[in-house]
Amino acid sequence: MTDATPPLADDLKALELIVRRLESEDLDLDTALALFEEGVQRLRRSREQLQAAELKVVQVLEEADGELRTGPLES
């Protein structure tokens, strides 16, 4: 997961809002279509994020100069 990807939580929150608007508000077709398109995009991105994932485990160490460095976990 790169930092460029909007967090899953944001996508899901936005998706929930879109669905609620589509379900409850009296929208014209163009708006409804635009919302649906955005919803589909977010849905696809959420699915992708939920599929291709493997837990990342790293160790945080502090260098002599005080910088934090992450590396593989040694146990």
Partner 1 sequence: MTEPLADEVWTVGQLAAHVGETIADTYGALWVRGEVAEFKAWASGHWYFKLREGEAQLNCVMFKWANQRQRAPEVGQEVFAFVEPGLYAPRSEFKLTVKRLLATADLGAAAREKERVKHALQRDGLFELDRKRPLPALARRVAVVTSANGAALQDIITVARRRWPLGELLVVPSLVQGEGAPAALLAALARVERLEGLDACIIGRGGGAREDLAAFDDEQVCRAVARCPVPVVSAVGHETDTSFCDLVADVRAATPSQAAELVFPDVAEVRDAVRQLGVRLRSALVRRTGVATERAERAGDRLEAAMRRRLAERRARLAPAGARLAGGLRQRVDRTRRLTDALRTRLGSATQACVGRDWQRHDDARTGLETAIRRRLARRLAEADALGAALHALSPLQVLDRGFGLARDADGRVLRRRADFTPSLPFTLRVADGDVAARVEPA
Binding residues for partner 1 (CB under 8 A): 1, 3, 7-9, 12, 15-16, 18-19, 22-23, 27-29, 32-33, 36-37, 39-40, 43-44, 46-47, 49-50, 53-62, 68, 70, 73-75
Buried b (16+ CB within 10 A) or exposed e, 12-32: eebbeebeeeeeeeeeeeeee
Nearer to partner 1, 56 or 65 (CB): 56
Instruction: Judge contact between 71 and 59, C-beta under 8 A.
Output: yes
Least separation in angstroms between residue 30's CB and partner 1 is 9
Least separation in angstroms between residue 34's CB and partner 1 is 11
Angle (nearest 5°) at CA 3 between 54 and 57: 35
